[in-house]
């Protein structure tokens, strides 16, 4: 017997080998116009009896589990007491755990006090995946992110101060052709200020079910960027990230036409050289069929 998931089920690419427990269903915000991950669900919090039974079952089946991801999109929205209960029980039942992670919206990080975040960290919650998407307040408003650049920076710093590993996502092409420069400039500024441990760059892809909502909310004609323009955004972003703390950077998600990876600050020039090489060899673009769509 395996877990009876409530689909659709999502997790970050780096959690591919993790055991997933759905402690919440859906997303409590669920208004970001670029995201249709949880549009088919009403947000709810799963009762302890169900969560505990699943943990007990999987602890017998997969006792050597090393990584656990708490789904759906909003596990951090749980009360501190409930989240602490879940995390402590996971640590008790899985003796070889290296990491427990979950998605974290900026607003949910900010709702918790520094003491509450530290309490969860000490209980065994290790890592947050937080969506920056863009550092431009104009674009964040157009895509109804429910956050500003300032609140995103505050949330990132708050999480890091409480001892969490922080992995952030940004979306190339989110401002379209019209706002490309502003999108990248603001995004680089947020990354420079927040210095998350990891940054992953995705490229905008609108599912059919959400495309019209995105276009309507954007409030002006949206002109998608081409593959070459997405590569230019990637180059601009890398060139504008200036940090002394290490940031592991990945632009190898299935949505990306061109892929690079490296660690700031030491690999910055290497990544720029790779992009310059890709400009000279446009044929290395990843075929659309391989971009996870």
pLDDT, mean of residues 49-62: 96
Name the nearest CA neighbour of 82 among 128, 51, 39: 51
Mean predicted lDDT score pLDDT of the chain: 94
Q: Half-sphere exposure (CA, 13 Å, Cβ side) for 199?
A: 32
Q: Which of 241, 278, 285 is nearest to 263 (CA)?
A: 241
Banded pLDDT at 181 (limits 50, 70, 90): very high
What pLDDT is recorded for position 36?
Answer: 82
Residue 291's pLDDT is 59
Q: pLDDT tens for residues 264-288?
A: 999 999 999 999 999 999 888 988 7
Report cis status (omega within 30 of 0) of the bond before 160: no
> What is the distance between the alpha carbons of residues 29 and 105, in angstroms, rounded to a whole number?
9
Q: What is the structure's pLDDT at 34?
A: 86
- What's the token pair of residue 58? 């999987």
The pair of structure tokens assigned to 124 is: 């065994």
Across 6-15, 161-170, 193-202, least confident range: 6-15
Share of the chain above pLDDT 70, in %: 98
Across residues 117-122, what is the average pLDDT? Answer: 98
């Amino acid at each position: 017997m395996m877990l009876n998931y409530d689909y659709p089920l999502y997790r970050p690419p780096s959690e591919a080998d993790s055991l997933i427990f759905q402690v919440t269903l859906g997303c409590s915000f669920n208004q970001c116009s670029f995201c249709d991950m949880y549009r088919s669900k009403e947000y709810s919090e799963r009762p302890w009896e169900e969560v505990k039974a699943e943990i007990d079952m999987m602890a017998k089946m997969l006792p050597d589990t090393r990584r656990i991801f708490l789904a759906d999109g909003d596990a951090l929205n749980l009360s501190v007491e409930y989240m602490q209960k879940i995390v402590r029980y996971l640590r008790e039942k899985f003796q070889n755990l290296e990491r427990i992670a979950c998605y974290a919206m900026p607003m949910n990080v900010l709702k918790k006090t520094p003491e509450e975040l530290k309490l969860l960290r000490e209980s065994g919650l290790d890592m947050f995946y937080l969506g920056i998407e863009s550092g431009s307040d104009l674009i964040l408003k157009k895509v109804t992110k429910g956050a500003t650049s300032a609140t995103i920076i505050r949330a990132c710093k708050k999480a890091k101060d409480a001892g969490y590993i922080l992995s952030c996502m940004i979306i190339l092409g989110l401002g379209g052709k019209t706002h490309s420069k502003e999108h990248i400039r603001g995004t680089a500024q947020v990354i420079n200020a927040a210095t998350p441990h990891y940054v992953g760059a995705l490229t905008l892809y609108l599912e059919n079910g959400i495309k019209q909502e995105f276009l309507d909310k954007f409030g002006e004609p949206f002109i998608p960027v081409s593959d070459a323009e997405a590569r230019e955004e990637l180059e601009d972003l890398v060139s504008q990230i200036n940090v002394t703390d290490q940031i592991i950077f990945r632009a190898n998600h299935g949505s990306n036409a061109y892929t690079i990876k490296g660690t700031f600050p030491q690999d910055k020039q290497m990544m720029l050289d790779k992009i310059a090489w890709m400009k000279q060899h446009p044929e290395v673009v990843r075929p659309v069929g391989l971009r996870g769509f």
